[in-house]
Structure 1
Amino acid sequence: MKCSIAALALLALTACEAQPEGEPVARARIDGQQQAATPSSEPTPAETLASQVESACRSIIFEDAPLTHCLAVPARHRIDMALGSDGKPYRSLTDFAAASDGETIAFAMNAGMFDDEGEPIGYFVEDSERLHKLNTADGEGNFHMKPNGVFYGSGGEWVVRDTDSFLANVTERPEFGTQSGPMLVVDGKIHPEITQDGPSKLLRNAVGVDDEGRAHFVISNAPISFGKLARFYKDELEVKNALYLDGNVSLLWNPATERLDTGAPIGPIVVVRKKASE
Protein backbone atom coordinates (compact mmCIF):
# COMPACT_ATOMS: atom_id res chain seq x y z
CA MET A 1 0.00 0.00 0.00
CA LYS A 2 1.07 3.58 -0.52
CA CYS A 3 2.29 5.74 2.33
CA SER A 4 0.48 8.99 3.13
CA ILE A 5 2.44 12.24 3.02
CA ALA A 6 1.96 12.68 6.75
CA ALA A 7 3.29 9.20 7.47
CA LEU A 8 6.43 9.84 5.42
CA ALA A 9 7.01 13.12 7.22
CA LEU A 10 7.07 11.39 10.59
CA LEU A 11 9.95 9.08 9.54
CA ALA A 12 9.17 6.90 12.54
CA LEU A 13 11.49 4.20 11.20
CA THR A 14 8.54 1.96 10.35
CA ALA A 15 7.57 0.89 6.84
CA CYS A 16 4.16 1.84 5.49
CA GLU A 17 4.52 -0.91 2.94
CA ALA A 18 3.81 -4.49 3.91
CA GLN A 19 6.86 -6.19 5.40
CA PRO A 20 8.15 -9.63 4.40
CA GLU A 21 6.48 -12.64 5.98
CA GLY A 22 7.36 -12.93 9.65
CA GLU A 23 9.22 -9.62 9.91
CA PRO A 24 7.59 -7.31 12.47
CA VAL A 25 7.28 -3.59 11.86
CA ALA A 26 9.01 -2.27 14.97
CA ARG A 27 9.67 1.28 16.08
CA ALA A 28 13.40 1.08 16.64
CA ARG A 29 16.52 3.15 16.32
CA ILE A 30 19.23 2.21 13.86
CA ASP A 31 21.54 1.25 16.74
CA GLY A 32 19.17 -1.59 17.60
CA GLN A 33 17.93 -0.08 20.88
CA GLN A 34 14.19 -0.04 21.46
CA GLN A 35 12.61 3.39 21.05
CA ALA A 36 9.99 4.49 23.55
CA ALA A 37 6.47 4.17 22.20
CA THR A 38 4.32 7.24 21.75
CA PRO A 39 1.95 7.28 24.79
CA SER A 40 -1.10 8.20 22.75
CA SER A 41 -0.63 5.47 20.13
CA GLU A 42 -2.03 1.97 20.40
CA PRO A 43 0.62 -0.69 19.57
CA THR A 44 -0.05 -2.76 16.50
CA PRO A 45 -0.05 -6.58 16.73
CA ALA A 46 3.33 -6.60 14.94
CA GLU A 47 4.78 -4.14 17.44
CA THR A 48 3.44 -6.24 20.29
CA LEU A 49 5.12 -9.31 18.79
CA ALA A 50 8.39 -7.40 18.42
CA SER A 51 8.32 -6.45 22.10
CA GLN A 52 8.02 -10.12 23.08
CA VAL A 53 11.03 -11.40 21.16
CA GLU A 54 14.68 -10.54 21.31
CA SER A 55 15.63 -9.77 17.73
CA ALA A 56 18.89 -8.34 16.42
CA CYS A 57 17.01 -7.05 13.37
CA ARG A 58 14.69 -4.05 12.99
CA SER A 59 12.63 -2.75 10.08
CA ILE A 60 13.38 0.87 9.22
CA ILE A 61 12.89 3.44 6.47
CA PHE A 62 15.65 5.36 4.69
CA GLU A 63 14.79 7.82 1.90
CA ASP A 64 11.41 6.06 1.49
CA ALA A 65 13.14 2.68 1.11
CA PRO A 66 12.15 -0.13 3.50
CA LEU A 67 15.21 -1.86 4.94
CA THR A 68 15.95 -4.46 7.57
CA HIS A 69 18.97 -3.55 9.71
CA CYS A 70 20.59 -6.34 11.74
CA LEU A 71 23.21 -5.45 14.33
CA ALA A 72 25.94 -7.83 15.52
CA VAL A 73 27.69 -6.75 18.72
CA PRO A 74 30.95 -8.45 19.84
CA ALA A 75 29.82 -8.68 23.47
CA ARG A 76 26.68 -10.60 22.48
CA HIS A 77 27.51 -12.34 19.21
CA ARG A 78 30.12 -14.27 17.29
CA ILE A 79 30.31 -14.54 13.52
CA ASP A 80 30.93 -17.61 11.36
CA MET A 81 30.80 -18.44 7.68
CA ALA A 82 28.98 -21.45 6.30
CA LEU A 83 29.07 -22.95 2.84
CA GLY A 84 27.68 -26.45 3.06
CA SER A 85 27.80 -29.88 4.62
CA ASP A 86 29.59 -33.03 3.49
CA GLY A 87 31.15 -31.16 0.59
CA LYS A 88 27.80 -29.96 -0.78
CA PRO A 89 26.81 -26.27 -0.64
CA TYR A 90 23.54 -25.51 1.15
CA ARG A 91 22.34 -23.25 -1.71
CA SER A 92 19.45 -21.92 0.44
CA LEU A 93 18.79 -20.54 3.90
CA THR A 94 16.00 -23.12 4.18
CA ASP A 95 18.52 -25.96 3.93
CA PHE A 96 20.91 -24.20 6.30
CA ALA A 97 18.11 -23.60 8.81
CA ALA A 98 17.07 -27.27 8.65
CA ALA A 99 20.62 -28.27 9.59
CA SER A 100 20.97 -25.67 12.37
CA ASP A 101 19.73 -24.98 15.88
CA GLY A 102 17.75 -21.77 15.49
CA GLU A 103 17.89 -21.13 19.25
CA THR A 104 21.61 -20.40 18.98
CA ILE A 105 21.43 -18.13 15.91
CA ALA A 106 20.66 -14.42 15.94
CA PHE A 107 20.39 -14.23 12.15
CA ALA A 108 21.98 -15.46 8.92
CA MET A 109 22.33 -13.92 5.48
CA ASN A 110 23.87 -14.67 2.08
CA ALA A 111 27.47 -13.50 2.15
CA GLY A 112 29.30 -13.00 -1.11
CA MET A 113 29.33 -13.90 -4.76
CA PHE A 114 29.61 -17.40 -6.13
CA ASP A 115 29.76 -19.52 -9.27
CA ASP A 116 27.11 -21.75 -10.81
CA GLU A 117 27.89 -24.49 -8.31
CA GLY A 118 27.54 -22.21 -5.30
CA GLU A 119 31.29 -22.00 -4.66
CA PRO A 120 32.80 -18.61 -3.70
CA ILE A 121 34.53 -16.73 -6.51
CA GLY A 122 36.68 -14.82 -4.03
CA TYR A 123 38.44 -15.22 -0.70
CA PHE A 124 36.54 -17.44 1.69
CA VAL A 125 37.50 -18.74 5.13
CA GLU A 126 35.33 -21.00 7.26
CA ASP A 127 36.43 -22.20 10.72
CA SER A 128 39.94 -20.82 10.10
CA GLU A 129 40.28 -22.90 6.93
CA ARG A 130 40.79 -21.07 3.65
CA LEU A 131 38.52 -22.64 1.06
CA HIS A 132 39.23 -20.09 -1.68
CA LYS A 133 42.14 -17.71 -2.20
CA LEU A 134 41.94 -13.94 -2.60
CA ASN A 135 40.74 -12.91 -6.07
CA THR A 136 42.64 -9.90 -7.47
CA ALA A 137 41.74 -10.48 -11.12
CA ASP A 138 40.02 -7.96 -13.34
CA GLY A 139 36.71 -8.79 -14.94
CA GLU A 140 33.11 -7.83 -15.48
CA GLY A 141 30.23 -7.61 -13.07
CA ASN A 142 29.74 -6.20 -9.59
CA PHE A 143 32.45 -8.33 -8.00
CA HIS A 144 35.09 -6.74 -10.23
CA MET A 145 33.79 -3.18 -9.81
CA LYS A 146 36.96 -2.19 -7.96
CA PRO A 147 37.67 -1.57 -5.26
CA ASN A 148 36.01 -4.72 -4.04
CA GLY A 149 36.69 -5.96 -0.53
CA VAL A 150 36.77 -8.52 2.26
CA PHE A 151 34.72 -8.89 5.44
CA TYR A 152 36.68 -10.91 7.96
CA GLY A 153 37.42 -11.38 11.63
CA SER A 154 38.66 -13.43 14.55
CA GLY A 155 37.06 -13.55 17.97
CA GLY A 156 35.23 -10.28 18.53
CA GLU A 157 37.29 -8.21 16.09
CA TRP A 158 35.50 -7.76 12.78
CA VAL A 159 36.76 -5.71 9.84
CA VAL A 160 35.81 -4.63 6.32
CA ARG A 161 38.77 -3.71 4.07
CA ASP A 162 39.15 -3.13 0.36
CA THR A 163 41.02 -5.98 -1.33
CA ASP A 164 44.31 -4.11 -1.86
CA SER A 165 44.38 -3.07 1.80
CA PHE A 166 43.60 -6.62 2.89
CA LEU A 167 46.41 -8.00 0.73
CA ALA A 168 48.90 -5.44 2.07
CA ASN A 169 48.01 -5.60 5.76
CA VAL A 170 46.52 -8.96 6.73
CA THR A 171 49.20 -11.59 7.30
CA GLU A 172 47.42 -14.03 9.64
CA ARG A 173 44.49 -16.11 8.53
CA PRO A 174 41.26 -14.96 10.20
CA GLU A 175 38.65 -17.28 11.67
CA PHE A 176 36.16 -16.24 8.98
CA GLY A 177 36.28 -14.21 5.79
CA THR A 178 34.38 -13.55 2.59
CA GLN A 179 35.24 -11.45 -0.45
CA SER A 180 32.66 -9.59 -2.50
CA GLY A 181 32.25 -6.36 -4.42
CA PRO A 182 32.01 -3.58 -4.90
CA MET A 183 32.87 -1.73 -1.73
CA LEU A 184 30.01 0.67 -1.03
CA VAL A 185 31.98 2.97 1.27
CA VAL A 186 35.79 3.18 1.36
CA ASP A 187 37.51 5.17 4.12
CA GLY A 188 34.39 7.25 4.66
CA LYS A 189 33.77 7.97 0.96
CA ILE A 190 31.24 6.37 -1.37
CA HIS A 191 32.76 4.17 -4.10
CA PRO A 192 33.77 6.50 -6.96
CA GLU A 193 31.74 4.61 -9.57
CA ILE A 194 28.51 4.57 -7.57
CA THR A 195 26.06 7.25 -8.67
CA GLN A 196 23.55 9.12 -6.52
CA ASP A 197 20.60 6.89 -7.35
CA GLY A 198 21.28 4.82 -10.45
CA PRO A 199 18.74 2.96 -12.57
CA SER A 200 19.76 -0.51 -11.34
CA LYS A 201 17.45 -1.38 -8.44
CA LEU A 202 17.34 -4.81 -6.82
CA LEU A 203 16.85 -6.44 -3.46
CA ARG A 204 20.34 -5.98 -2.05
CA ASN A 205 22.33 -6.70 1.10
CA ALA A 206 25.61 -5.50 2.55
CA VAL A 207 27.78 -5.35 5.67
CA GLY A 208 29.81 -2.62 7.35
CA VAL A 209 31.71 -2.30 10.62
CA ASP A 210 31.52 0.89 12.68
CA ASP A 211 34.14 2.53 14.90
CA GLU A 212 32.84 0.59 17.90
CA GLY A 213 33.52 -2.70 16.16
CA ARG A 214 29.85 -3.55 15.60
CA ALA A 215 28.85 -5.20 12.31
CA HIS A 216 25.84 -3.68 10.56
CA PHE A 217 24.08 -6.02 8.13
CA VAL A 218 21.42 -4.46 5.91
CA ILE A 219 18.99 -6.08 3.47
CA SER A 220 16.46 -4.12 1.47
CA ASN A 221 12.80 -5.13 1.58
CA ALA A 222 12.20 -3.56 -1.84
CA PRO A 223 14.47 -2.87 -4.83
CA ILE A 224 17.14 -0.27 -3.99
CA SER A 225 20.00 1.40 -5.87
CA PHE A 226 23.68 1.11 -4.99
CA GLY A 227 23.77 4.82 -4.22
CA LYS A 228 20.95 4.78 -1.70
CA LEU A 229 22.35 1.74 0.09
CA ALA A 230 25.81 3.31 0.21
CA ARG A 231 24.38 6.57 1.62
CA PHE A 232 22.59 4.68 4.35
CA TYR A 233 25.90 3.25 5.53
CA LYS A 234 27.81 6.51 5.18
CA ASP A 235 25.27 9.06 6.39
CA GLU A 236 22.98 7.18 8.78
CA LEU A 237 25.18 4.44 10.21
CA GLU A 238 28.38 6.51 9.89
CA VAL A 239 30.25 3.40 8.77
CA LYS A 240 33.56 4.18 7.10
CA ASN A 241 33.91 0.88 5.22
CA ALA A 242 30.96 -1.09 3.88
CA LEU A 243 30.89 -4.02 1.48
CA TYR A 244 28.16 -5.04 -0.94
CA LEU A 245 27.32 -8.72 -0.53
CA ASP A 246 24.89 -9.39 -3.38
CA GLY A 247 21.67 -8.44 -5.13
CA ASN A 248 18.59 -10.22 -6.44
CA VAL A 249 19.47 -13.33 -4.40
CA SER A 250 19.61 -11.43 -1.09
CA LEU A 251 18.01 -13.43 1.74
CA LEU A 252 17.66 -13.24 5.53
CA TRP A 253 16.90 -15.79 8.22
CA ASN A 254 15.81 -14.22 11.51
CA PRO A 255 14.72 -17.02 13.87
CA ALA A 256 13.40 -14.56 16.48
CA THR A 257 10.64 -13.38 14.16
CA GLU A 258 10.37 -16.59 12.12
CA ARG A 259 11.45 -14.80 8.96
CA LEU A 260 13.02 -17.27 6.54
CA ASP A 261 13.44 -15.88 3.04
CA THR A 262 13.38 -18.14 0.01
CA GLY A 263 14.49 -17.40 -3.52
CA ALA A 264 17.21 -18.15 -6.05
CA PRO A 265 20.09 -20.45 -5.03
CA ILE A 266 22.82 -18.79 -2.95
CA GLY A 267 26.42 -19.59 -2.04
CA PRO A 268 28.33 -18.45 1.07
CA ILE A 269 26.33 -17.70 4.23
CA VAL A 270 27.29 -15.46 7.13
CA VAL A 271 25.98 -16.69 10.47
CA VAL A 272 25.67 -14.43 13.52
CA ARG A 273 25.42 -16.63 16.58
CA LYS A 274 24.33 -15.76 20.08
CA LYS A 275 27.03 -16.04 22.70
CA ALA A 276 26.17 -18.42 25.51
CA SER A 277 25.02 -16.68 28.69
CA GLU A 278 27.53 -16.56 31.50
Structure 2
Amino acid sequence: MRLLSAAAALCLAAVLGPAPALALGCETLDFDGQGYTVCRVDMERDDLRLFLEAPDGRPWGQFGRLDAALEGEGRRLSFAMNAGMYHADRAPVGLYIQDGEEIAPLVAGAGPGNFGLVPNGVFCIAGDRARVIETEAYRADPPACRHATQSGPMLVIDGELHPRFLPDSTSRYVRNGVGTFAGGGEAIFAISHRPVTFHEFGRLFRDGLGVDQALFLDGSVSKLHAPALNRSDFGRTMGPIIGVAAPAEGAGE
Protein backbone atom coordinates (compact mmCIF):
# COMPACT_ATOMS: atom_id res chain seq x y z
CA MET A 1 0.00 0.00 0.00
CA ARG A 2 1.49 3.33 -1.02
CA LEU A 3 2.45 5.69 1.80
CA LEU A 4 0.76 9.06 2.20
CA SER A 5 2.54 12.19 1.00
CA ALA A 6 2.78 15.21 3.28
CA ALA A 7 0.07 17.06 1.36
CA ALA A 8 -2.26 14.07 1.38
CA ALA A 9 -1.69 13.54 5.09
CA LEU A 10 -2.54 17.15 5.87
CA CYS A 11 -5.75 16.91 3.85
CA LEU A 12 -6.66 13.67 5.63
CA ALA A 13 -5.98 15.23 9.02
CA ALA A 14 -8.27 18.15 8.14
CA VAL A 15 -11.08 15.70 7.37
CA LEU A 16 -10.57 13.35 10.30
CA GLY A 17 -9.69 15.95 12.91
CA PRO A 18 -6.80 15.74 15.38
CA ALA A 19 -4.89 12.45 15.38
CA PRO A 20 -4.18 10.66 18.65
CA ALA A 21 -0.87 11.66 20.23
CA LEU A 22 2.13 9.38 19.81
CA ALA A 23 3.71 7.88 22.90
CA LEU A 24 6.83 9.82 21.95
CA GLY A 25 4.76 12.95 21.46
CA CYS A 26 4.11 14.12 17.88
CA GLU A 27 1.68 16.99 17.35
CA THR A 28 0.87 19.77 14.94
CA LEU A 29 1.01 23.36 16.16
CA ASP A 30 0.89 26.94 14.93
CA PHE A 31 3.55 29.46 15.84
CA ASP A 32 3.68 33.05 14.64
CA GLY A 33 1.32 32.34 11.76
CA GLN A 34 3.11 29.21 10.51
CA GLY A 35 2.17 25.54 10.89
CA TYR A 36 4.61 22.89 12.09
CA THR A 37 4.70 19.26 13.13
CA VAL A 38 6.76 18.74 16.29
CA CYS A 39 7.91 15.38 17.69
CA ARG A 40 9.40 15.05 21.17
CA VAL A 41 11.68 12.09 21.86
CA ASP A 42 12.26 10.91 25.43
CA MET A 43 15.88 9.84 25.43
CA GLU A 44 15.49 7.53 28.43
CA ARG A 45 12.54 5.68 26.95
CA ASP A 46 12.77 5.92 23.17
CA ASP A 47 15.36 4.08 21.05
CA LEU A 48 16.56 6.95 18.85
CA ARG A 49 19.07 5.86 16.20
CA LEU A 50 20.74 6.94 12.97
CA PHE A 51 20.41 4.84 9.84
CA LEU A 52 22.37 5.13 6.59
CA GLU A 53 22.98 1.93 4.62
CA ALA A 54 21.00 -1.30 4.35
CA PRO A 55 22.82 -4.67 4.52
CA ASP A 56 23.14 -4.59 0.71
CA GLY A 57 25.30 -1.46 0.98
CA ARG A 58 22.73 0.86 -0.56
CA PRO A 59 21.21 3.76 1.40
CA TRP A 60 17.90 2.97 3.03
CA GLY A 61 16.61 5.91 1.02
CA GLN A 62 12.94 5.71 2.03
CA PHE A 63 11.16 5.36 5.35
CA GLY A 64 9.09 2.42 4.09
CA ARG A 65 12.16 0.33 3.24
CA LEU A 66 13.68 0.93 6.67
CA ASP A 67 10.38 0.24 8.45
CA ALA A 68 10.00 -3.09 6.63
CA ALA A 69 13.53 -4.13 7.64
CA LEU A 70 12.88 -3.31 11.30
CA GLU A 71 10.00 -5.78 11.26
CA GLY A 72 12.66 -8.50 11.18
CA GLU A 73 13.84 -7.26 14.59
CA GLY A 74 10.30 -7.25 15.97
CA ARG A 75 10.34 -3.46 15.81
CA ARG A 76 8.74 -0.66 13.82
CA LEU A 77 9.69 2.87 12.83
CA SER A 78 7.45 4.99 15.06
CA PHE A 79 9.05 8.31 14.05
CA ALA A 80 11.73 9.37 11.57
CA MET A 81 13.19 12.34 9.68
CA ASN A 82 15.97 12.94 7.21
CA ALA A 83 19.06 13.51 9.34
CA GLY A 84 21.26 16.05 7.59
CA MET A 85 22.79 16.95 4.25
CA TYR A 86 24.37 14.45 1.90
CA HIS A 87 26.30 14.19 -1.36
CA ALA A 88 24.94 12.88 -4.66
CA ASP A 89 25.89 9.31 -3.63
CA ARG A 90 23.88 9.83 -0.38
CA ALA A 91 27.07 9.93 1.73
CA PRO A 92 26.92 12.42 4.65
CA VAL A 93 28.44 15.86 4.02
CA GLY A 94 29.91 16.17 7.53
CA LEU A 95 30.52 14.09 10.64
CA TYR A 96 28.51 10.90 10.77
CA ILE A 97 28.76 8.31 13.54
CA GLN A 98 26.54 5.24 13.66
CA ASP A 99 26.64 2.64 16.46
CA GLY A 100 29.92 4.13 17.66
CA GLU A 101 31.67 3.93 14.26
CA GLU A 102 32.78 7.16 12.58
CA ILE A 103 31.79 6.82 8.94
CA ALA A 104 32.50 10.42 7.87
CA PRO A 105 34.78 12.97 9.60
CA LEU A 106 33.96 16.35 11.13
CA VAL A 107 34.07 19.27 8.67
CA ALA A 108 35.13 22.56 10.29
CA GLY A 109 35.21 26.11 8.96
CA ALA A 110 33.01 28.17 6.66
CA GLY A 111 32.03 26.89 3.25
CA PRO A 112 29.41 27.07 0.51
CA GLY A 113 25.71 26.50 1.05
CA ASN A 114 23.73 26.19 4.25
CA PHE A 115 26.09 23.60 5.72
CA GLY A 116 28.97 26.08 5.61
CA LEU A 117 26.98 28.97 7.09
CA VAL A 118 28.92 28.86 10.36
CA PRO A 119 28.38 28.33 13.15
CA ASN A 120 27.06 24.92 12.22
CA GLY A 121 26.78 21.97 14.57
CA VAL A 122 26.50 18.31 15.51
CA PHE A 123 23.55 16.37 16.88
CA CYS A 124 25.01 13.77 19.26
CA ILE A 125 23.34 10.81 20.99
CA ALA A 126 25.42 9.59 23.93
CA GLY A 127 23.79 7.00 26.17
CA ASP A 128 20.34 8.24 27.12
CA ARG A 129 21.15 11.88 26.40
CA ALA A 130 21.01 14.00 23.25
CA ARG A 131 22.88 17.24 22.58
CA VAL A 132 23.18 19.77 19.80
CA ILE A 133 26.79 21.00 19.93
CA GLU A 134 28.33 23.84 17.91
CA THR A 135 31.04 22.41 15.62
CA GLU A 136 34.03 24.23 17.14
CA ALA A 137 32.92 23.26 20.65
CA TYR A 138 32.61 19.66 19.47
CA ARG A 139 36.07 19.74 17.90
CA ALA A 140 37.60 21.16 21.09
CA ASP A 141 36.10 18.47 23.33
CA PRO A 142 34.42 15.66 21.35
CA PRO A 143 32.03 13.57 23.44
CA ALA A 144 31.64 9.82 23.05
CA CYS A 145 28.66 9.83 20.69
CA ARG A 146 26.99 6.52 19.88
CA HIS A 147 25.28 8.28 16.98
CA ALA A 148 26.08 11.72 15.54
CA THR A 149 25.28 13.77 12.46
CA GLN A 150 26.68 17.15 11.46
CA SER A 151 24.63 19.77 9.63
CA GLY A 152 24.20 23.50 9.43
CA PRO A 153 23.56 26.17 10.16
CA MET A 154 22.84 26.20 13.87
CA LEU A 155 19.39 27.64 14.45
CA VAL A 156 19.75 28.47 18.16
CA ILE A 157 23.09 28.87 19.95
CA ASP A 158 22.95 29.20 23.75
CA GLY A 159 19.43 30.62 23.50
CA GLU A 160 20.24 33.09 20.70
CA LEU A 161 19.39 32.96 17.01
CA HIS A 162 22.15 32.41 14.46
CA PRO A 163 23.67 35.88 13.84
CA ARG A 164 23.25 35.64 10.06
CA PHE A 165 19.46 35.15 10.12
CA LEU A 166 17.51 38.10 8.67
CA PRO A 167 13.92 38.91 9.70
CA ASP A 168 13.15 40.18 6.18
CA SER A 169 14.75 37.28 4.27
CA THR A 170 12.92 36.09 1.15
CA SER A 171 14.55 32.62 1.10
CA ARG A 172 11.80 30.18 2.00
CA TYR A 173 11.82 26.38 2.08
CA VAL A 174 10.06 23.60 3.92
CA ARG A 175 12.63 23.05 6.65
CA ASN A 176 13.32 20.51 9.39
CA GLY A 177 15.59 20.56 12.41
CA VAL A 178 16.23 19.37 15.96
CA GLY A 179 16.62 21.09 19.31
CA THR A 180 17.84 20.05 22.75
CA PHE A 181 17.88 21.31 26.32
CA ALA A 182 20.78 21.55 28.77
CA GLY A 183 19.84 18.31 30.54
CA GLY A 184 19.80 16.29 27.31
CA GLY A 185 16.85 14.13 28.30
CA GLU A 186 14.66 15.19 25.38
CA ALA A 187 15.18 15.88 21.69
CA ILE A 188 12.60 17.96 19.83
CA PHE A 189 12.26 17.58 16.07
CA ALA A 190 10.23 19.96 13.91
CA ILE A 191 9.26 20.31 10.26
CA SER A 192 7.38 23.21 8.70
CA HIS A 193 4.15 22.64 6.80
CA ARG A 194 4.97 25.38 4.30
CA PRO A 195 8.13 27.21 3.21
CA VAL A 196 9.60 29.36 6.01
CA THR A 197 12.70 31.51 6.44
CA PHE A 198 15.62 30.60 8.69
CA HIS A 199 14.59 33.43 11.02
CA GLU A 200 11.04 32.09 11.34
CA PHE A 201 12.27 28.53 11.85
CA GLY A 202 14.86 29.56 14.42
CA ARG A 203 12.24 31.52 16.35
CA LEU A 204 10.05 28.41 16.50
CA PHE A 205 12.81 26.60 18.38
CA ARG A 206 13.92 29.54 20.55
CA ASP A 207 10.61 31.24 21.36
CA GLY A 208 8.01 28.58 20.59
CA LEU A 209 9.76 25.51 21.98
CA GLY A 210 12.24 27.18 24.35
CA VAL A 211 15.27 25.04 23.51
CA ASP A 212 18.83 26.01 24.39
CA GLN A 213 20.41 24.71 21.17
CA ALA A 214 18.91 23.85 17.77
CA LEU A 215 20.32 22.58 14.48
CA PHE A 216 18.99 22.85 10.93
CA LEU A 217 18.85 19.49 9.18
CA ASP A 218 17.71 20.34 5.64
CA GLY A 219 15.46 22.47 3.46
CA SER A 220 15.78 20.86 0.04
CA VAL A 221 14.78 17.41 1.25
CA SER A 222 12.69 17.68 4.43
CA LYS A 223 10.64 14.61 5.25
CA LEU A 224 8.74 13.17 8.19
CA HIS A 225 7.52 9.70 9.13
CA ALA A 226 4.87 9.92 11.86
CA PRO A 227 2.42 7.00 11.52
CA ALA A 228 0.20 8.17 14.37
CA LEU A 229 -0.43 11.36 12.38
CA ASN A 230 -1.16 9.31 9.22
CA ARG A 231 1.95 10.75 7.60
CA SER A 232 4.93 9.17 5.88
CA ASP A 233 6.60 11.30 3.21
CA PHE A 234 8.22 9.75 0.15
CA GLY A 235 9.81 10.92 -3.08
CA ARG A 236 13.51 11.77 -3.44
CA THR A 237 15.92 9.20 -2.01
CA MET A 238 17.40 10.31 1.32
CA GLY A 239 20.85 9.93 2.82
CA PRO A 240 21.04 9.67 6.64
CA ILE A 241 17.78 8.99 8.50
CA ILE A 242 17.14 9.48 12.21
CA GLY A 243 14.30 7.60 13.84
CA VAL A 244 12.84 5.78 16.80
CA ALA A 245 12.80 1.97 16.59
CA ALA A 246 9.86 0.99 18.79
CA PRO A 247 8.67 -2.50 19.69
CA ALA A 248 6.14 -3.77 17.16
CA GLU A 249 2.61 -4.24 18.44
CA GLY A 250 2.47 -7.47 20.39
CA ALA A 251 6.27 -7.69 20.68
CA GLY A 252 8.08 -7.57 24.01
CA GLU A 253 10.81 -5.08 24.90
**TM range, smaller chain:** 0.7 to 0.9
> In 2, Cα distance between the equivalents of 1:273 and 1:63?
32
Superposed, which structure 2 residues align to 1:32-47 within 5 Å?
45-47=16-18
Partners in 2 of 1:81 and 1:53 — Cα distance? 20
Contact 1:194 1:226 survives alignment (8 Å): yes
Pairs within 5 Å for 1:1-278: 20-22=7-9, 25=13, 45-47=16-18, 50-51=19-20, 54=23, 56-85=25-54, 86-101=56-71, 104-172=76-144, 174-213=145-184, 214-274=186-246
Q: Distance in 1 between matches of 2:16 and 2:148?
A: 39
Cα offset for 1:203?
Answer: 0.8
- The Cα shift of 1:171 comes to 4.6
Residues 128 and 53 from structure 1, CA distance in 2 versus in 1: closer, same or farther, beyond 3 angstroms? closer
Q: Aligned partners of 1:234, 1:130: CA distance in 2, in Å?
A: 30
Q: Which runs of 5+ in 2 are unaligned?
A: 1-5
Distance in structure 2 (CA, Å) of the matches to 1:243 and 1:197? 21
CA 1:256–1:202: 2 relative to 1, 3 Å: same
Contact 1:93–1:251 (CA under 8 A) maintained in structure 2: no
**1:87 positional shift:** 1.7
Q: Which is higher, the Rg of structure 1 or of structure 2? A: 1
Tell me, in whole angstroms, the C-alpha distance in 1 between the residues paired with 2:141 and 2:21: 44
**Which whole-Å CA distance do the structure 2 matches of 1:175 and 1:169 have between them?**
15
Among the aligned pairs, what percent are the same residue? Answer: 36
Residue 92 of structure 1, CA deviation? 2.4
Q: Which moved more, 1:102-111 or 1:236-245?
A: 102-111
Whether the aligned pair in 2 keeps the contact of 1:56 and 1:107 (CA below 8 Å) is no
- How many residues align? The count is 240
Kept in 1, the 8 Å contact 2:24–2:42? The answer is: no
CA distance 1:232–1:277, change in 2 (3 Å): farther
Tell me the distance in 1 between the aligned counterparts of 2:139 and 2:195.
Answer: 33
Q: Offset at 1:238? A: 1.0
Considering only aligned residues, what root-mean-square deviation do their CA atoms show, in Å?
Answer: 2.3
- What is the deviation of 1:258? 3.4
1:97 positional shift:
2.8
Is the Cα contact below 8 Å between 2:21 and 2:27 reproduced in 1?
no
Map of 1:36 onto structure 2:
none
Amino acid at match of 1:60: L
- Could you give the per-residue CA deviations for residues 241-264 of structure 1, whole angstroms, max 9, x where no partner exists? 100000121001112233110132
Structure 1 residue 155 displacement after superposition? 1.9
Q: TM-score, normalised by structure 1?
A: 0.79
**Residues 243 and 199 (structure 1 numbering): CA distance in 2 closer, same or farther, change over 3 Å?**
same
Amino acid aligned to 1:235: D
Structure 1 residues 159-213: Cα deviation after superposition (integer angstroms, max 9, x where no partner): 00110001112253x1100000000011111000011241111111000102442
Aligned 8 A contact 2:66 2:77 in 1: no
For the residue of structure 2 that corresponds to 1:142, the secondary structure is coil
3-state secondary structure, aligned to 2:97: strand
Name the SS of the counterpart of 2:70 in structure 1. Answer: coil
The answer on whether the counterparts of 2:9 and 2:231 sit within 8 Å (CA) in structure 1 is yes
